[in-house]
Amino acid sequence: MCPEWISEVHMPEDLKKERGNLFNMGRPTRVLRKSSYSQGEDEAPRSSTDNSIETHQKAKPRVLQKPTEMNWPLVTRPLNKSSVQGNKWKKPAATQEKRRSLLHEFCKKYGGVKDSQSNLFRMVSRIYVEDKHKILYCEVPKAGCSNWKRVLMVLNGLASSALNISHDTVHYGKHLKTLDSFDLKGVYMRLNTYTKAVFVRDPMERLVSAFRDKFEHPNSYYHPVFGKAIIKKYRPDAREEALNNGSGVKFKEFVYYLLDAHRPVGMDIHWERVSKLCYPCLINYDFIGKFETLEEDASYFLQLIGAPTELKFPTFKDRHSSDERTSAHMVRHYLKDLSQEERQRIYDFYHLDYLMFNYTAPHL
C-alpha cells in the first residue's frame, strides 16, 4: 500500500462512463488579457542552472491591455503538403492524419475550456517561434526538445549547423523567442497561421528518463532543490549527508513526491503532463510527432515546412551520451520496485497524455 500522504489520483468518472465533459466545453469564447502571473504550485521553480529556464526572458513587465476575445478551440487546418516531394512520405502522412483525427475526436468529446481565468500567455509560454518558416513548436522535455531547438536555430539563421550548438547555448543562450513574448495580436495571428507542432513520448518512459537525467547524475539544481526536499519528506531516518546535498534520490521516493497532493516542492516541466504543458485541446496542433518514431516524423516535418534539404534532425543524445537511452525494457526495471497500486497511480496521473496521444497503457 502507498503511504497515507500519497494523493488519490483517479480516472474522472465522466471519462470512465464516456459522458460529460472533462474541461467544461460549454464556453465557446474567452476574454483574454495580457497581464503578469505568478509562479503557481504546478510551475517549475526558476534558477540560472535549471534546464527548464526560458531561452527568451522578457525584460519588460506585463502591460494590461484591452480584453481580446478569442474563439476556442482554434480551427484545425489541413497540412500544407506543397513542399513534400516523393512517394516515401505517404506512410508518415497517413500516420499524421490518424494522430490528428484521434486527438481531435478526443478533444471534441472531452476537451475545451477548463477555466475562464486561464491566462493565454501562460498557455503559450512553452511554445517557441520560428518566424521565417512560420513554425510554432511546443517544448516537451525528454522528447527530443534540445535537438528541436537546435533545428529552430538553424532555420532561423542563428547557426549554420545543428551539430555544432552546445547544450548551454540551446537552453541558456536566449536566442529563440517564445510565443508569450508577443502582444495579443501577434500571438493570435501566429496561432492561426503558423504550423503548430508538438512532439510527445510514452509518459512512463518520459518520467523514467527525467528521473535518470536529473537524479542519477550530479546536478547543481535538482539535487539541492528537489532532492533534499524529497529525501527529507519520504526517507525515514535519512542520513545527514543525504539531507544536506540531496543526492541519491530513489525512484520510489521520486514517485511518492510525484503523487503527493502536498508536495514539498512544486512540479517541474521535465515530468509535467503534456496536457498541462502544451494544451493540446485548445491549441489544435497541426503536427503531432512521437519520440518513438522521431527520425521519420522529424524528416517529414522538415519536408512539410520547406526546410533546406541539407538540414537533418540531429540523432545524438544531448546529455549523458554514454548512458543507454531509456527504453520500455528499462522502464520495467524501474517499475518493479513499485506496488501495483503505485504503478496504477502513475498511470492515472498521466492518463490524459495516454489517451490524447494513443499510447498503450503499461502492464500494471
- pLDDT at 201 exceeding the cut of 60: yes
* Chain centroid, CA 295 distance in Å: 19
- pLDDT at 332 exceeding the cut of 50: yes
Least confident of 164-173, 275-284, 300-309, 347-356: 164-173
Q: For 271-298, what is the mean pLDDT?
A: 94
3-state SS, 157-172, equals: CCCCCHHHCCHHHHHH
Gyration radius from the chain CA atoms: 20
Q: For 274-296, what is the mean pLDDT?
A: 94
Q: What is the pLDDT of residues 93-128, one digit of tens each?
A: 999 999 999 999 999 888 654 543 458 888 999 999
Q: What is the pLDDT of residues 148-162, one digit of tens each?
A: 999 998 898 887 777
φ, ψ dihedrals at 64, nearest 5°:
-65, 135
Q: What is the pLDDT of residues 240-255, one digit of tens each?
A: 999 999 999 999 999 9
Beta partners for 30? Answer: 70
pLDDT top residue among 187 and 61: 187
Nearest to 170 by CA among 66, 318, 36: 318
Write down the pTM of the prediction.
0.79
Least confident of 70-74, 188-192, 283-287: 70-74
Of these ranges, 8-12, 47-51, 320-324, the one predicted with the greatest mean pLDDT is: 320-324
- What pLDDT is recorded for position 22? 41
- pLDDT at 54 exceeding the cut of 50: no
Residue 330 pLDDT class (50, 70, 90 cuts):
very high
- pLDDT at 276 exceeding the cut of 60: yes
Give the containing element (helix H, strand E) for 60: none
Report helix, strand or coil for 291. Answer: helix
